[in-house]
């Protein structure tokens, strides 16, 4: 479990990376949505705003998650959300998309995945006790899908050439755009490009 403390508006993003011993199937995908909803309802009175499961292929930066969450929160405050459900709003902002159908079988859970990123967005700063309780309930729920164990975030924050290409294409970043962006290495350049795409989504018509 990793915590990101967001500034204005004050919020906390709880990030958990789960790995499964067997690939998810169609039934598992349905169960994931149900467990996220159950977790959200159970901890809503403690400040949970959204619970979201993502395919981890396109995630490589904590700043990517942070900016997406901030964009979603600000859209909610200013009544300009794209999606009716706030968890989907969070997904759209992180993915830099405006159509939910773009996320089906790509950014959102789908059969064949062997890992998931679980995001829980809280209002303000929840207590350590509440965070730990929520984390244990999360593990209990997702173990219904089969053998699963938490894994370090480093595994998805590590870039390979293949991952760079997948992320670059998802966010519509050209090779020229990546090459000409200032940065110490390709990871920093890619992060800057992705953050720009996420930020621009807020102004897209």
When divided into structural domains, the chain yields a total of: 1
> How long a stretch of residues is the chain?
205
The residue range of the domain holding 129 is 2-157
The sign of the dihedral angle between the CA atoms of 180, 198, 174, 185 is positive
Q: What is the pLDDT along the chain (205 residues), one digit of tens a residue?
A: 899 999 877 999 999 999 999 999 888 878 899 999 999 999 999 999 999 999 999 999 999 999 999 999 999 999 989 999 999 999 999 999 999 999 988 999 999 999 999 999 999 999 999 999 999 999 999 999 888 999 999 989 999 999 999 999 999 999 999 999 998 999 999 999 999 999 998 766 4
Residue 170 domain-assigned (yes or no): no
Domain of 140: which CATH number?
A: 3.30.2380.10
Both tokens assigned to 20: 């499964």
Q: Cα–Cα distance between 177 and 31 in angstroms, integer?
A: 39
Strand partners of residue 4: 13
Residue 116 domain-assigned (yes or no): yes
Non-local (6+) Cβ contacts of 103 within 8 A are 88, 91, 92, 95, 97
**Torsion on CA atoms 193, 198, 202, 205, rounded to nearest 10:** 70
């Amino acid at each position: 479990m990793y915590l990101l403390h967001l500034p204005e508006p004050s919020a906390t993003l709880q990030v958990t990376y789960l790995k499964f011993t067997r690939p998810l199937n169609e039934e598992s995908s349905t169960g994931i949505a149900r467990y996220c909803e159950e977790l959200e309802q159970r901890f809503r009175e403690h400040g949970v705003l959204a619970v979201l499961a993502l395919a981890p292929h396109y995630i490589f930066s904590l700043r990517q998650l942070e900016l997406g969450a901030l964009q979603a929160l600000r859209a909610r405050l200013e009544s300009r959300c794209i999606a009716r459900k706030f968890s989907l709003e969070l997904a759209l902002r992180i993915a830099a998309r405006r159509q939910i159908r773009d996320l089906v079988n790509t950014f959102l859970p789908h059969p064949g995945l062997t890992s998931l990123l679980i995001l829980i967005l809280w209002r303000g700063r929840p207590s350590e006790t509440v965070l730990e309780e929520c984390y244990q309930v999360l593990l209990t729920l997702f173990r219904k899908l089969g053998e699963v164990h938490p894994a370090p975030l480093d595994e998805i924050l590590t870039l390979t050439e293949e991952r760079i290409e997948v992320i670059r294409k998802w966010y519509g970043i050209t090779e020229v755009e990546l090459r000409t962006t200032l940065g110490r290495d390709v990871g920093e350049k890619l992060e800057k490009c992705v953050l720009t795409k996420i930020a621009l989504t807020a102004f897209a018509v």
